[in-house]
Copies of this chain bind each other. A is one copy, B any other.
Amino acid sequence: MNPEGAPPSRAAARQEGRATINDIAAVTGVAASTVSRALSRPDRVNRVTRERIQAAARELNYVPNTQARALSSGRTDTVALLVSDATNPFYFGLIRGAQQQLHAAGQALLLMDTEDSAELENHLLGKMRRSVDGVILAASRLPEQTLAVIAAELPVVTINRNVPGVHSVVIDSPDGVMQAVEHLVSLGHRHVAYVTGPPSSWANEARWRALRTGMARHGLSADRIGPFGVSRHCGSAAADALLNTGATACVTFNDLLAIGILRRLAERGVDVPGEISVVGCDDIFGADFCSPPLTTLTAPIEQAGRVAVSMLLENLENPAVRASCRRIILPTHLTVRQSSGQAPRL
């Protein structure tokens, strides 16, 4: 039953699991366009025809070719997630949340690591702007200007970064920092330092401002040390600098830094929280079992990932939404563990 002998016979094609709509069309005796419609806009096709086609598709184990679909329709069913450092545990939750939500929507996750470089970030965005439907930028290091340009070309949702005209979901760490300040002040701390993370981080600035404001409210001022990298190793330098300020407590840009500080302080024989209290940010994996367990701002990271995806998908489906720029703020709360305590007597 091979009228004209096409070299790679239909049979072979089927065996290789490479059935196309044409194969289905051939088998069911309709045009390829009908197959396409039966599969993607079912109501455009007569019920019996449709069912026949669907059955054939199933039987041939048909899987639409994403590339081809993307080429003609423009939709890729893929969303990119750019993180600044894939090894930072903070992103684990984000990745997880995003992945879950995307999977539920039948989309794929393209993960890219910008290695904390604005240039690389920009470059990657350029390369893939055609191959994804949208992008989620976690902790983007790009200048607002650039971000705006990109957002104009491609649906974008930023995480922990506010840029006019760009949708975003931010974790309300300033509020959390306030809570931390209250906590520390109520424990008698008068001298608190902020351990700065990457200067290019928007959240970093936001946290510092919140800390300063919070302290000011009590007529106290705050120190600021750093900037430091955000790996644990950088915590050593931070710890030393911290001791040098004479502060009795610190709030760090993130937990990684805090954990690093904890280690270094232990090494130097400084008692936490006896001599100094440490408060982190994010509540990443490990914050609860380091030693001592870290008092930190618990951020709904996974939720942030999910929400960002939802927002993006919403935008895709309803371009109208895209014009309006929505931003969602997720609350944080202080989780008190054992790295913070009464300020030492003078």
Give the interface of A toward B (CB within 8 A): 16-18, 61, 63, 65-68, 70-71, 76, 78, 86-87, 89, 92-93, 95-96, 99-100, 103, 108-113, 126-131, 153, 232, 259, 262-263, 285-286, 289-291
Contact = CB atoms under 8 A, between A and B. Distances in A.
Contacts of A76: 67
A23 to B, nearest CB: 14
B289 A263 contact: yes
A113 B130 contact: no
Given A67-B70, A130-B63, A131-B67, A285 B89 contact: yes
A71 B76 CA distance: 13
Given A67-B76, A109-B111, A289-B291, 6 more contacts: A63-B129, A65-B71, A67-B130, A96-B113, A286-B290, A289-B290
Number of copies: 2
Contact of A112 (B66, B108, B128, B290): B108
A67 B63 contact: no
Nearest 5 CB-CB pairings of A with B: A291-B291, A67-B70, A286-B286, A66-B131, A111-B111
Contacts of A96: 86-87, 113
Given A103-B113, A290-B291, A127 B63 contact: yes
10 contacts: A17-B153, A67-B70, A67-B131, A86-B96, A86-B99, A103-B113, A109-B112, A286-B290, A289-B291, A291-B291
A16 B291 contact: no
A153 B63 CA distance: 14
Contacts of A99: 86, 111-113
Nearest to A291: B291
Given A70-B67, A289-B291, A110 B108 contact: yes
A119 B289 CA distance: 34
Nearest to A65: B130
A284 to B, nearest CB: 9
Nearest to A17: B153
Contact of A67 (B71, B87, B127, B263): B71
A16 B63 CA distance: 32
Given A86-B92, A112-B109, A128 B66 contact: yes
